[in-house]
Structure 1
Amino acid sequence: MSATNKTRTYKYYDFVMVAFVTVLVCSNLIGPAKISQINAPFFGTLTFGAGVLFFPISFVFGDILTEVYGYARSRRVIWTGFAALAFASFMAWMIVALPPAPFWHNQQAYEVAFGSAWRVSLAGLVAFAAGEFVNSVVLAKMKVWTQGRWLWTRTIGSTIFGEGVDSIIFYPLAFYGTGIIPDDKLPLVVLAQFIAKVGVEVLLTPLTYKIVNFLKKAENEDFYDTNTNFNPFSLEAK
């Protein structure tokens, strides 16, 4: 079990980082524009933003990164994801704002798909950073407390805190006072999205176990954050 990973190089770290960033950008850029509704057994009619099905996967990758490579390495990936999401949001805003050619008649559809207001984009960035860092810190601390046992308790436990922070920040910051979602309905929306996101994490727990076990063996790494600097603004890999 590793106590420091400052000088280590890894075979799969970059691949996990790319997967994390890809899921993050796609779920935030493609998913939010579509509202879905399904009839679920026992629960009745469920209405949700389509992105909620995929955004929690970024937290799964965050769990994997912290569990295998440690908080410091995960922190670098979180900031990489933040930069990618910020650029994607800026690019979408810029392209939507460009005047369309007179013969191109798809501007309205394009605005619906990619024209998130600056307030929604900003809320998404703030909520993502806060939620991911809380998720990573909680998992790293719980791993030390549990001495590496009961992986499911820290993947689910960290997600409860991380997704809770993400949902509590995003929806009020993005929609309070806008009329898009009635203010008195915001707590219900936050709760529904939180339950859905944690539910995805629970369902993916067996897959998380398989990936974590594979990476620990392949990388010969099982990092414990016993002497880690948890400052979220540091980019040091230690």
Structure 2
Amino acid sequence: MTTTDPDGTPRPRDAARGWIGWAISGLLLLALAGGAAYWVTRRDAPPTVAAPSFGGAFAMTDQNGNTVTDRSLRGKPYAIFFGFTRCPDVCPTSLNRMAQLRKQLGPDGMKFAIVFVSVDPGHDKRQDIGNYLTLFGTPIIGLTGTDAQLAQIVKAFHVYYEKVPVPGGDYTIDHTAAIYLMDREGRFVTTIDHQEPQDAALAKLKRVIAS
């Protein structure tokens, strides 16, 4: 059987199908391109979305029982990291790195805050977080909260986390490993990736402090 072009010229039906196939392929490519613009943070993928997309309103509880919000953190730049106290590698490495960077900054080291947000509220109570953070030898604000509060701050920073079952009925948590650097007004500036050189991370911190 045949079909016709718009000018009335007959053509085989399979040619028409080919034209339709190309059109559908084009639409799929556009959809994929649009989807690629929406970035979901993974532990091994650095953020690539626009700066205003990171940060926002949140309210959590620190290790001393005080309420900490996005507004109460304003006035001083801060580095914020999401993890959990039983994390075997990325979390202690990242927090120790921030402690070392603060030390390298000398007198400027206390001009920014370090904030740790637990993504394991079922296990990490504020006392657990407080005890954990003392291991790093520098002041760190540790935050926890209800499931709803955690969902709000995770959404604000586009953080990925997921419980992963392990043998014996326990679990670990896969999560974003980037450290977010925010300016004194609570605006996102850049990130420190857990694999980037120390001198590059130090330069980023200096820039945030000076801004």
TM-score by length of 2: 0.27
Which structure shows the bigger proportion of residues in strand conformation? Answer: 2
Which structure shows the bigger proportion of residues in helix conformation? Answer: 1
Larger RCO: 1 or 2 (CA < 8 Å, sep 6+): 1
Compare CA radii of gyration and give the structure with the larger one: 2
TM-score by length of 1: 0.25
